Amino acid sequence: MEKKKVLIVDDQNGIRILLMEVFGSEGYETFQAANGKIALEIVEKEPPDLVLLDMKIPGMDGLEILKHLKTMNPDIKVIMMTAYGELDMIKEATELGALMHFTKPFDIDEMRIAVNKQLRSDEASHFG
């Protein structure tokens, strides 16, 4: 069975490494991008099943990246990562199709469970 692909988009290297380790050990194929341009290039070449997207990224911000992602692939699952107090942006992200958000510093286990739930619910529907 093909591995599910998770793309991590965050300008903080430490967060990308942490999330890649966590989701790699969950059996997903992980990709990382430090900015929107790289993220969109990866989505073109290796369409991910789910994107963990930071809201505050220099250059193209999370909302802009989200709009592009949804244009390229409306079915792509996106979970936002936000700093405290970005509620207006979260509302807009939800309207643009983000599934949910985690506020930094997030609980890595909660995020792992949420991602597994999103990606494994697909499998259940295929074999249901």
pLDDT digits (tens, 9 = 90+) for 36-82: 999 999 999 999 999 999 999 999 999 999 999 999 999 999 999 99
Between CA 33 and CA 37, with CA 35 as vertex, the angle to 5 degrees is 95
Reported pTM? 0.92
pLDDT digits (tens, 9 = 90+) for 3-31: 999 999 999 999 999 999 999 999 999 99
5-120 in CATH: which number?
Answer: 3.40.50.2300
Q: Angle at which helices 62-72 and 87-95 pack, to 10 degrees?
A: 10
Where do the structural domains in the chain lie, given as residue ranges? 5-120
Q: Which residues of 78-101 are buried (b: 16+ CB within 10 A; e: fewer)?
A: bbbbbeeebeebbebbeebebeeb
Instruction: Identify which of 115, 77, 120, 116 has the alpha carbon closest to the alpha carbon of residue 96.
Output: 77
Q: How confident is the model at residue 88 (pLDDT cuts 50, 70, 90)?
A: confident
